[in-house]
Structure 1
Amino acid sequence: MNKYLAIIDFKTLLLSVVCIAVTYLCFRFNIAYDLNITLFSIAVIFPLVFTIREAFKRRDNALKFLSQFKSGLCSVHYCFEQCKKLNDEQRAEVSQLLDKASSQFFDALGSEDADIRPAEDTVNQIIHFIKRNDSVISNGLALKIIRFVQDVNDGMENTISLKMHGTPISMRAYCLVFVFLFPFVFAPTIVYHLPDAPILLTYGLSVLHGFILIALYNVQVQMENPFDQIGLDDIQLDEFRFRALSPS
């Protein structure tokens, strides 16, 4: 239930208070005018829809890059498993490196600085492992493993770039400003068009429209970081963690 209430925060309460206050002032000082709010609504709704759509695109791209990351790790693991000249201890060492790289990468996704250098260093140790054991790893297999390691690095770099560079901050600031300006335009208009309506209905419509706008804004904010495991649509990161199967 808490997740469904995640779109309700302090800004929701603040905007509701603004809507009620503006509506009260309209009744108190008889402020009402017939204003076509279509253009103003577009000025609010369009950027909100745009930023939400872009946030969903970033989430979809992140899923693609995380899949590339995990599939690369799994491919590296399978390549080493198929190398008959490696002993169990050497295979276990590779599996530990892959597991460590996976854990470090997802720790970076969950942190503020998103530093993936530890994960990159661990991945590079796989290349050093190949060099140390070049007597038992053929050149063809080594090249294949390096190709999959490149997929792992590409997946990490692309995912982190999505985390660090979100939708335009100026656009989000613009949306928030106009969301809070909307009651000053909408409330006098609704008072004008519903002069005989119950007062509670007028207050309710004013708060409802404000709630819809701020809820859309909060949805976009939660979609902005699909890695923090707070929003309903966040990426299930555990599905992309590398887990080596125990040898049968």
Structure 2
Amino acid sequence: MNKYFAIIDLKTVALAVICVVVTYFCFALNIAYDLDITLFSIAVIFPLVFTIREAFKRRDNALKFLSQFKSGLCSVHYCFEQCKKLDPARRVEVSSLLDKASSQFFDALGSEDKDTRPAEDTVNEIIYFIQRNDDAISNGLALKIIRFVQEVNEGMENTISLKMHGTPISMRAYCLVFVFLFPFVFSPTIVYHLPDAPIFLTYGLSVLHGFILISLYNVQVQMENPFDQIGLDDIQLDEFRFRALEPSKIPLE
């Protein structure tokens, strides 16, 4: 049931109150006019739909970059696992580094802190690990691992850039302003076109239209940051975490 109330917040309540108050004054002061609200509706609906579409597009791109990040970590892990000259202890060390990098990166995504340098430093330790163990890692395998490490870094950079640069802030502010102005334009028009309708119907239609607009706005706001685990459509970050193998499950030579 909570999912049906996820888009309801204080702005929803505030707009509903505004709709009721404006409609009341329309009846009390006999304010009604025949206004074509098509253009005004387009001015509200179009930017809302645009920002929602862009938010979903950002979410899809984030899924792609997170998949690249995890697949890169897994590929690095498998490369080291296939290196028979590395003893199990050093394989465990690599797995721990990958697990640490994954945890640091997702901790940065799930918080307000956008600094991924700890995760990047941990990933770069893989390169230092190769240099320290060049006696056991062939040049061909080292180049392959470096290529996968590059994919990991690209996945991190692209993902964090999506978090830092969202849909236009000015567009969202514009939408919110016009959503709250809408009752002042729409309610008198309802009163004019439904003079003989029951009062509760006029109030209900006014509140309903306001609820639809503010709900669309709230959907966009929740989609704006798909990493904070607040919205219903947020990315399930745990699905993209790299988890190191337990030492007991690592094959011994």
TM-score clears 0.5:
yes
Does 2:250 align with 1:247?
Answer: yes
Whole-angstrom distance in 2 between the partners of 1:131 and 1:6? 51
Instruction: Tell me the residue number matched to 2:127.
Output: 127
Instruction: Give 1:141 shift.
Output: 0.3
**Which structure 2 residues correspond to residues 63-102 of structure 1 after superposition, within 5 A?**
63-102=63-102
Q: Please give the root-mean-square deviation of Cα atoms over the aligned residues, in Å.
A: 0.7
- In structure 2, what residue type is equivalent to 1:96? S
Instruction: Tell me the residue number matched to 2:143.
Output: 143
Mapped contact 1:4–1:232 kept (Cα < 8 A): no
Give the secondary-structure state (helix, strand or coil) at the position aligned to 2:3: coil
Instruction: Give 1:111 shift.
Output: 1.4
Give the secondary-structure state (helix, strand or coil) at the position aligned to 2:6: coil
Does 2:158 align with 1:158?
Answer: yes
Instruction: Tell me the residue number matched to 2:26.
Output: 26
Mapped contact 1:35–1:189 kept (Cα < 8 A): yes
**Which structure 2 residues correspond to residues 225-236 of structure 1 after superposition, within 5 A?**
225-236=225-236
Instruction: Tell me the residue number matched to 1:53.
Output: 53
Whole-angstrom distance in 2 between the partners of 1:70 and 1:199? 58
Q: Number of paired residues?
A: 248
Mapped contact 2:88–2:250 kept (Cα < 8 A): no
Give the secondary-structure state (helix, strand or coil) at the position aligned to 2:2: coil
**Which structure 2 residues correspond to residues 193-204 of structure 1 after superposition, within 5 A?**
193-204=193-204
Mapped contact 1:105–1:119 kept (Cα < 8 A): yes
Percent identity over paired residues:
87
Give the secondary-structure state (helix, strand or coil) at the position aligned to 2:4: coil
Give the secondary-structure state (helix, strand or coil) at the position aligned to 1:99: helix
**Gap runs ≥5 in structure 1:** none
**Gap runs ≥5 in structure 2:** none
- In structure 2, what residue type is equivalent to 1:224? E
Whole-angstrom distance in 2 between the partners of 1:125 and 1:166? 31
What TM-score do you get using the length of structure 2 for normalisation?
A: 0.97
Whole-angstrom distance in 1 between the partners of 2:6 and 2:115? 28
Whole-angstrom distance in 2 between the partners of 1:153 and 1:82? 22
Structure 1 stretches of 4+ with a deviation exceeding 3 A read: none
- In structure 1, what residue type is equivalent to 2:87? N
Instruction: Tell me the residue number matched to 1:185.
Output: 185
Whole-angstrom distance in 2 between the partners of 1:62 and 1:4? 25
